Amino acid sequence: MKFRTFAAFVGPSVFMMVVFIALPLISVFVQSFQVTQPVIERIEVETCSAGFLEQTCTTRVTTRPLLDENGQPQTTTEWVGLESYANLLQLDRVRNAIAAGVPERILQIDFWQALRFTLTFTLLTLPLVVGLGLAIALAVNNAARSIRGQVIFVSLLPFIITPVIGALSIRWLFYGDGIVTSWLEALMGTDISVAANGWAIEALMMFYRVWHVAPFAFVIFYAGLQTVNQDTLESAIIDGANRWERLKFVIVPHLMPLIVFIALIHLMDAYRAFEEVVGFSSQAQRITLQWLTYDLLQPDDAGNRSISRASASAMLTMIGIVIILLPPLRRTWRDHKGVS
């Protein structure tokens, strides 16, 4: 292929990636080392009491943002180095908690609380998504052709539903007087408050993630099952291999590249979980790193945003994604090079 032809095909994609990915990433990286604050001026305000002969006036000093000629608050940007990362990680509190022998206090810090839940959420749902997706694919592949289309359609419904809508649907089943909660209360003869228990909210969020993403894994695995060498399967049957042995020694090795692919997609997506926090209103119980970044960008009572700490949180989230992606990427590279 000539270079001009190659550039004509690749150029637009490279341009869009630079504009919408590379440049914003560089901007976030730079902002994580800077702090932008409004310029404050101190003024004297005189307050007088009502009256004429006995009127008294008091003067107090107050502050207000300094405005420019357009009426907008003036800001100043200061290079602070790693200060934003230090304020986000609060390593002094971490050291004090470890020195005092109470490491559970670390989870009272927003970043470490978000990191703990994000890692738990990502790593626990991964095998469930892969296992359930593979089980559905095997069931559909072995189903009769007359019902296979209907089963595929029903299996794909959770993946088609908008993420937030799906999370809200499951929330309405369990929160308050939800149908499932009402049945459980009638069965157990006691009141159940799901929203008051952090572990219950965490379990529901994981259940929703598996329910929503497993159909994606099912589609990939089902397509892969169509390419399994039938001669190899028949040879295994002749040799006396049962279903489990055929799955373990023939089907799973054949699908291993797809398993790695699904793991990569799931790790990247689950580590940036956000819809679950919104759908289940878990901010008081469980938060993710993506939610922490969003929360830091929300204006406070004075209208200021913690852009520097939010940028630091975003960069640490990216570093975390790279770290958890290293094992499957390393396996992919070794398979590509043919290294055992």
DSSP 256-310: HHHHHHHHHHHHHHHTT--HHHHHHT-TTT---HHHHHHHHTS--TTS---HHHH
The residue ranges of DSSP E strands in 39-151, in sequence order, are 40-48, 57-65, 75-79
The count of structural domains within the chain is 2
pTM for this prediction: 0.82
Q: How far is CA 49 from the centre of its chain?
A: 56
Instruction: Give the count of beta carbons closer than 10 Å to the beta carbon of residue 183.
Output: 11
Same domain, 23 and 109: no
Q: Which residue has the higher pLDDT, 65 or 158?
A: 158
3-state class (DSSP) for residue 248 = helix
Q: Does residue 293 belong to any structural domain of this protein?
A: yes
In a domain, 77, yes or no: no
Residues 262-288, mean pLDDT to the nearest whole number: 90
Q: What is the pLDDT of residue 36?
A: 79
When pLDDT is cut at 50, 70 and 90, the band that residue 332 belongs to is confident
Give the pLDDT band (50/70/90) at residue 128. very high
* Contact assessment for residue 317 and residue 119, using Cβ atoms and an 8 Å cutoff: no
pLDDT digits (tens, 9 = 90+) for 38-82: 777 777 777 777 666 666 777 777 776 777 777 777 777 888 888
Separation of alpha carbons 128 and 206, rounded Å: 10
DSSP H stretches of helix in 43-99: 83-89, 91-99
Say if CB 290 and CB 273 are below 8 A apart.
yes
Q: Give the per-residue pLDDT at 58.
A: 76
CA dist 132 → 24, 216, 275, 328 (Å): 37, 10, 21, 20
pLDDT of res. 52:
60
Structure letter (DSSP) for residue 251:
I
pLDDT at residue 243 tops 70: yes
Structural domain of 24: 1-31
Q: Is residue 64 part of a domain?
A: no
Residue 91 has pLDDT above 80, yes or no: yes
Q: What is the pLDDT of residues 19-36, one digit of tens each?
A: 988 999 999 999 999 887
pLDDT, the chain, mean: 86
| Per-residue pLDDT tens digits for 161-201 | 888 888 888 888 888 778 888 888 888 877 778 777 888 89
pLDDT band at 320 (very low <50, low <70, confident <90, very high): very high
Name the strand (E) or helix (H) holding 35. strand 34-38
Q: Are residues 172 and 313 in the same domain?
A: yes
Residue 72 lies in a domain: no
Pair 46, 57: CB distance under 8 Å: yes
**Cα gap 267→320, rounded to integer Å:** 10
In the prediction, which pLDDT does 259 show?
93
Query: CA nearest 289: which of 275, 276, 271?
Result: 271
More confident residue, 33 or 303: 33
Q: Backbone phi, then psi, for 221, in 5-degree steps?
A: -70, -40
Of the listed ranges 63-77, 107-121, 227-241, 246-260, the one predicted with least confidence: 63-77
Select from 267, 286, 268 the least CA-distant residue to 278: 286
Cα separation, 224 vs 36, whole angstroms: 52
Q: What is the predicted pLDDT for the residue at 86?
A: 92
- Whether 9 and 144 map to the same domain: the answer is no
At residue 273's C-alpha, the angle toward residues 269 and 275, to 5°, is: 120
For residue 94, being part of any structural domain is answered with: no
User: What is the reported pLDDT for 302?
Assistant: 64
**Is there a single domain that holds both residue 9 and residue 133?**
no
Q: Which of 25-29, 125-129, 328-332 has the lowest mean pLDDT?
A: 328-332
Average pLDDT of the segment spanning 2-9: 83
Tokens read off for 222: 């089902």
Token match 């940036």: residue? Answer: 272
1 & 131 share domain: no
> 145 and 246: one domain?
yes
**Structure-token pair, residue 329:** 């990427």
pLDDT at 43: 77
Measured from the Cβ of residue 259, the count of other Cβ atoms closer than 10 Å reads: 20
Is 38 among the domain residues?
Answer: no
pLDDT bracket for residue 339 (50, 70, 90):
low
Say yes or no: 135 and 232 in one domain. Answer: yes
Written as six digits, the tokens of 12 are: 């637009």
What single-letter amino acid sits at 40?
I
Determine, yes or no, domain membership for 149.
yes
Nearest to 91 by CA among 340, 312, 304, 258: 312
Is 233 part of a structural domain of the chain?
yes
Residue 222: per-residue pLDDT: 92
**pLDDT for 133-156, tens place per residue?**
999 999 888 887 888 888 888 888
